[in-house]
Amino acid sequence: MQFEFSYYSIILIGSGLAASLFSAFIYNRLGGTLKWFVFTLVAISIWAFSYGFKIASLDLSEMLFWVKVEYFGIAIAPSTWLYFCIKYTGKETWLKPQVLFILVAFPIITYLLVLTNNWHQLHYQEVVLSAAHSFPYLAIEKGPWFYVHTIYFYFTVLLGNYLLISSFKHAEPIYKKHTYLLVVIATIPWLINIFYLLGIRPIGPIDPTPFAFIISYAVIAVGLFKFNLFDVLPIAKDKLISAMTEGLLVIDVHGKVRDLNPSMKRIIKSKDGHYVGQSVDGLFSGQKDLKKLIGKRIHTQIEVSVEIKQQKRLFLVETIPIIEKQNEFIGLLLLFRDITEIKKCQQLLKV
C-alpha cells in the first residue's frame, strides 16, 4: 500500500489511536454503565483512524479497503450511543426484545451491505477515484441504503438526546448541567455531518465529521476525570420517592452525594443549600461510626443521634450497597428511620 500523509490524515490516525487507548483505560477504570459510552468511543476511533488512512491512500482499491474498515465504526456507533443513553437514564424497560433486535440487526445489515456493495450497489451506486482537487479522493454516488442508514443515524441521536433531556429536566441543577453539556457535545458532530451532506464543505471533499467526533468525545473523556462529568449517574433514581417520611441518601463510589429525598434534607444540613456533589464526610462530620460504616460498603444498620431544630433525634440508619451486574459496586443507599418515639416508649416500658 502507498500513502501520502497530510496534516488531516495524521491528525485522524493519531487521534483515533489515542481514543482507542483511552477507551480501554476508561473501561478498566470505571466500567458499569460507562462501558456503553466506551463502545461508542471505540466506534468513533475506528471511524477516525480508518478515514485518516483512506484520505492518505493513492489508489481506488486501497481507499475501498479503508472504507470497509471505516464502516465497522460508522455502522455500530448509532446503536451503542442509543443503548448508552437508555442505560444512563435508567430506561431499561425500553430494552425489549424487538428494540434489542433493531439495535443489533441494523449495524449488521449496514456493514454487510457495505462489504458486499459490488454485488448490489445498495449503499454506494458508484465509487470512482477523482482528481478534481490537489489529492485523489473518492467521489461517491449514494445508494438507497445510505439514506436509510443516515436516517437511522440521526434518529438515534435525537432519541438519545430526548431521553437525556426529559429524564433530567426536573432534576437537581448539577444533573441538568452535566446532561445538557453531554447533549450539546454529542450533537455538534451530527450537525457538522448534516452540513457536509448538504454540500457545505469548508475543507473541500474531506468529511469534517470524524474530526468533530474526536474533539467532542475527547472533551467528554476529559470531563470523566478532570470534572467528574459522569460521577452524577442516576444509579438509584427510582428508589428516591419524595413522599417517603424516611430519609434516603445515595452516595457514589467516591463518597459523594448523588441524590436524596426531601426528608433527608430535613435531617442533614448543607452550608450552601446544595447537596448533590457534596462529600459525605462533610455532611456527617460528627458521625465517626457512621462514616466508618459507610466506608465498609456492606448491608448493615447503626443507630445515630442527630440534632434537628435544637432537638436530639435518634435514627436507625440502614446502609444498602448498590450493585450492578457482575457484582460491581456503584454506590451506597442510606435509609434513615426516625426511632426517637420508639426508643422513648421502650424506656417507659422498662420503668
252 and 336 in a single domain? The answer is: yes
45 and 149 in a single domain? The answer is: yes
Assess if residue 157 is contained within a domain.
Answer: yes
Structural domains counted in the chain: 2
Assess if residue 109 is contained within a domain.
Answer: yes
Give CA–CA dist 149/195, Å, rounded. Answer: 17
Q: What is the CATH number of the domain that holds 295?
A: 3.30.450.20
pLDDT at residue number 239: 46
94 and 171 in a single domain? The answer is: yes
Assess if residue 2 is contained within a domain.
Answer: no
- Among 156, 160, 149, CA closest to 75: 149
Count of all residues that appear for the chain in the document: 351
Of the residues 203, 225, 247, which one is the last residue of a structural domain?
225
Assess if residue 1 is contained within a domain.
Answer: no
140 and 273 in a single domain? The answer is: no
Pairing of strands 247-252, 328-338: antiparallel
Q: Decide: residue 288, CB within 10 A, 0-12 exposed, 13-18 middle, 19+ buried.
A: exposed
255 and 275 in a single domain? The answer is: yes
135 and 274 in a single domain? The answer is: no
pLDDT at residue number 101: 95
Assess if residue 338 is contained within a domain.
Answer: yes
Q: Decide: residue 93, CB within 10 A, 0-12 exposed, 13-18 middle, 19+ buried.
A: exposed
Of the residues 225, 255, 274, which one is the last residue of a structural domain?
225
90 and 65 in a single domain? The answer is: yes
Range of the domain at 87: 7-225
146 and 260 in a single domain? The answer is: no
Q: Which residues of the chain have pLDDT under 70?
A: 1-3, 29-34, 131-135, 168-178, 217, 220-244, 271-272, 325-326, 350-351
Assess if residue 231 is contained within a domain.
Answer: no
Q: What is the CATH number of the domain that holds 73?
A: 1.20.1070.10
pLDDT at residue number 127: 82
Assess if residue 230 is contained within a domain.
Answer: no
Give CA–CA dist 171/183, Å, rounded. Answer: 16
109 and 206 in a single domain? The answer is: yes
pLDDT at residue number 238: 47
207 and 253 in a single domain? The answer is: no
Cα three-residue angle 100-32-264, rounded to 5 degrees: 110
186 and 318 in a single domain? The answer is: no
- Per-residue model confidence as pLDDT tens digits over 148-204: 999 999 899 889 888 877 776 656 666 666 677 777 777 888 788 888 878 887 777
210 and 308 in a single domain? The answer is: no
For 202, the 3-state DSSP assignment is coil
Under 8 Å between Cβ of 249 and 334: yes
C-alpha cell, 317: 440508619
Under 8 Å between Cβ of 256 and 174: no
Could you give the angle at which helices 209-225 and 173-197 cross, rounded to 10 degrees?
170
Assess if residue 292 is contained within a domain.
Answer: yes
- Among 298, 232, 240, CA closest to 264: 240
Of the residues 185, 201, 225, which one is the last residue of a structural domain?
225
